Each structure stands twice: as C-alpha cells, then as structure tokens.
Amino acid sequence: MKKRRKIKINSPRLFVFRSNKHIYAQVIDDIKNITITTSSSVCPKLKAKISSTNTCNTARIIGKDIGTKLRNKGIKQIVFDRGNRIYHGKIKALAEATRNEGIKF
C-alpha cells in the first residue's frame, strides 16, 4: 500500500472525488478536522439543474456551487486536492468553475 504524504497547510483543502456516476467536492479543514462545506451531483438542491450526472457541465455546476458556499463563509484561499486523478476533464472543469467564483488556489 502507498503511504499518503502528510501535508501541513493553513488553508482549507478542496477534495474532489469522482466515481463512475457522480462527482463530489468537499472542503476540509485539516487543522480542526472538520468538513466546512460539501457539494455533489446527488445533492437534492442541484438535481434540478443537472441533466446527466457524469459530464463536465455537471462538474461546472458543482464547482460554482462550492465556490459560492465558500465565498459566503468568507473563505478566499484554498488548496486543491484532486486525489490520484489527473487535472483533466471533469476535475479541471470543477476547478475552473470554483476559480471563476473568486476562490484562489
């Protein structure tokens, strides 16, 4: 098994998980060990806007939603954690939509 690196950061971390059907994003504060906010393609609030759950358009909607939630909480800077995924496609679409909401990483 691979050992996961321990990262010492003061900013919250945006973790993105993508399954075969859905995409999930959550902002985690590693110092306090809490989840600040989440958004996903299974969220009832966003289901009305989503036609297909596994597209780049869905990732943009989730990125915009998470960016809006962070801005409302006063968070302007985060660290992007894409897991083992490459920065391409849905992961990239979610990150760019979050950046368009004024969040820096």
Give the number of domains in the chain. Answer: 1
Stretch 86-97: mean pLDDT: 95
CATH number where 65 lies? 3.30.420.100
Whether residue 2 is contained in a domain is answered as: no
- What is the residue range of 81's domain? 13-100
Residue 7 is which amino acid?
I
* pLDDT the model gives residue 102: 95
Whether residue 62 is contained in a domain is answered as: yes
Whether residue 105 is contained in a domain is answered as: no
Whether residue 4 is contained in a domain is answered as: no
Query: Model confidence over 11-70: pLDDT tens digits?
Result: 899 999 999 999 999 999 988 989 999 999 999 999 888 888 889 999 999 999 999 999
How do 23-29 and 79-81 pair as beta strands?
unpaired
Stretch 68-96: mean pLDDT: 94
Whether residue 92 is contained in a domain is answered as: yes
Whether residue 8 is contained in a domain is answered as: no
Gyration radius of the chain's alpha carbons: 13
Distances in Å between the Cα of 42 and the Cα atoms of 24, 32, 66, 86 are 8, 26, 14, 23
